[in-house]
Amino acid sequence: MAVAADTDANLLRLGGFSGKDIPEDDLLRACVHCGMCLPACPTYRLTGQEMSSPRGRLWLMRAVADDRLDLLDPLFDEQMYQCLNCRACEAVCPSGVHYGPLVEASRAQLEQHRPRSLSDRVVRRIGLDWLFADSWRLRWIVNLLRLSQRSGLTVLARKMGILKALGMADLEALTPAISRRALVPGNERWDADLSISPPRRARLFNGCVMGTVFANTNRAAARVMARNGSDVDVPVAQLCCGALHVHAGMMEEARVLARTNIDAFASSGDDPIVVTAAGCGAALKEYGYILKDDPAYAESARTFSARIRDFTEYLGERDLVPPTRTIRRQVTYQEPCHLVHAQRISRQPRDLMNAISGLELIEMKESSLCCGSAGIYNIVRPDMANELGDRKALHAMETTASEVITANPGCQMQVGASLRRNGSTAKVRHIADLLDEAYGGAKTKRSVIGNSAQHATR
């Protein structure tokens, strides 16, 4: 009962309860146990264990639902969190099992009832709840990290073994060079190239990591969209999409972020909302699902989700303005799971790369197999993540391409660290940066609207 009381108090603090998070019975029953998903599952391929497969995990969820297995059985906990939530199983399932929401609901069930250690609670509350729910705080922390990178403090701490002693060595290995300036929503906007008709309007979803660590990639994406005839705005008051919270079973926290984002984009009609992070795009497209039981937001959440476009999807919706520069280079493509499996977007990124004169796209083996990033999986489960990262790096290195192109910040960090660990000097880049280079870079007209006084918090 103490657990239930804690949970209710927490939900009240978050401003409401939107329904019980348990795997939905009809979604669970869709599985006919055919096993066709097994070869697609990274954890099954690594372990060869039935329990580590989608079918095995669905069996466990069913057993908990039927009271044949205790929710707090360690096997259930282990399997729900060993899963990468990469959704490769969903993409190949002939019965259309919607696996993502099932594993997310199972984690939410565990989150509500599982006793947690103090350190675990602190990491979740500070890392996910306190930090990602406030864009101003996040920018300050990222600025401090950047200062540490630029001043050489990070390198010094690594060499002295301080990062290892603090348990931060893996995290540091994943962190790329941070953009010089965060992109603050409401402060910058890009004007459409007026020679392209008809003109379009797009709203950029800034995101937490993309708007800070990879802010220059968001600027590159906006320039490419403007070059293709779109006015691009970055609406103020938007926050993190909540994907990490959904992955961690923190559904109510995710819903608070979802409502904030829906409100932030409400005044822009039905303009497309363009996203440069595959993981964010997949989460934003599911706002309609996670808020379906919220009478105040169910309808607006559905409308909002219908406006979401991945950057490559948006550009693929009409004829591309031919890139102006020739780039003589060999590249390979790493498919982000939440682009290819969750959003089923695979052709558009390849079409965009093939439109660049001189560029040679060499396909790597297992391009769509998870690289091990999977939200914070590579931080909390480095062993399996590194095994998948090494496998990805070796496949990329076999192609002899000098750049690995992707469309998600998590993949960019994980594949970059895996390549370095395996002695490769190949770069990992976002497809927006590659396209921006092909259009000549930062020549597109940009308006600077304000200063960083805009402060979005929930």
Residues near ligand SF4 (CB under 6 A): 31-37, 40-43, 54-55, 57-58, 83-89, 93, 95, 97, 99
Q: From the CB of 360, what's the least distance to ligand SF4, in Å?
A: 31
Determine how many CB atoms are found less than 10 A away from the CB of residue 82.
Answer: 17
Identity of the residue, 87 or 429, whose beta carbon is nearer to ligand SF4 in the bound complex: 87
Q: What's the order of all strands across the beta sheet hosting 188-190?
A: 308-310, 273-275, 200-205, 230-233, 188-190, 446-448
Identity of the residue, 97 or 401, whose beta carbon is nearer to ligand SF4 in the bound complex: 97
Q: From the CB of 340, what's the least distance to ligand SF4, in Å?
A: 12
Q: From the CB of 49, what's the least distance to ligand SF4, in Å?
A: 11
Q: From the CB of 101, what's the least distance to ligand SF4, in Å?
A: 11
Identity of the residue, 47 or 143, whose beta carbon is nearer to ligand SF4 in the bound complex: 47
Q: Encoding tokens for residue 354?
A: 């093939």
Cβ atoms 338, 99 nearer than 8 A? no
In 3-state terms, what secondary structure has residue 331?
strand
Identity of the residue, 86 or 308, whose beta carbon is nearer to ligand SF4 in the bound complex: 86
Cβ atoms 62, 33 nearer than 8 A? no
Q: Is the peptide bond before 198 cis (omega within 30 degrees of 0)?
A: yes
Listed residue (265, 269, 261, 234) closest to 454, CA to CA? 234
Q: From the CB of 120, what's the least distance to ligand SF4, in Å?
A: 22
Identity of the residue, 153 or 380, whose beta carbon is nearer to ligand SF4 in the bound complex: 380
- The amino acid occupying position 194 is L
Cβ atoms 190, 225 nearer than 8 A? yes
Give the whole-angstrom CA distance, residue 257 versus residue 242: 6
273: phi then psi, degrees, rounded to nearest 5: -110, 115
Q: From the CB of 89, what's the least distance to ligand SF4, in Å?
A: 3
Cβ atoms 108, 249 nearer than 8 A? yes
168: phi then psi, degrees, rounded to nearest 5: -110, 10
Q: From the CB of 52, what's the least distance to ligand SF4, in Å?
A: 8
Cβ atoms 65, 27 nearer than 8 A? no
How distant, in Å, are the alpha carbons of 139, 276, 277, 287 from that of 431? 24, 9, 11, 25
Identity of the residue, 52 or 218, whose beta carbon is nearer to ligand SF4 in the bound complex: 52
Identity of the residue, 96 or 322, whose beta carbon is nearer to ligand SF4 in the bound complex: 96
E strands, 251-328, are 273-275, 308-310
Identity of the residue, 32 or 156, whose beta carbon is nearer to ligand SF4 in the bound complex: 32
In 3-state terms, what secondary structure has residue 225?
helix
- The enclosing H or E element of 114 equals none
Q: From the CB of 225, what's the least distance to ligand SF4, in Å?
A: 31
Identity of the residue, 93 or 315, whose beta carbon is nearer to ligand SF4 in the bound complex: 93
What is the DSSP pairing of strand 188-190 with strand 446-448? antiparallel
Q: From the CB of 96, what's the least distance to ligand SF4, in Å?
A: 8
Q: Greatest CA span in the chain, whole angstroms?
A: 66
Q: From the CB of 261, what's the least distance to ligand SF4, in Å?
A: 25
Identity of the residue, 102 or 315, whose beta carbon is nearer to ligand SF4 in the bound complex: 102
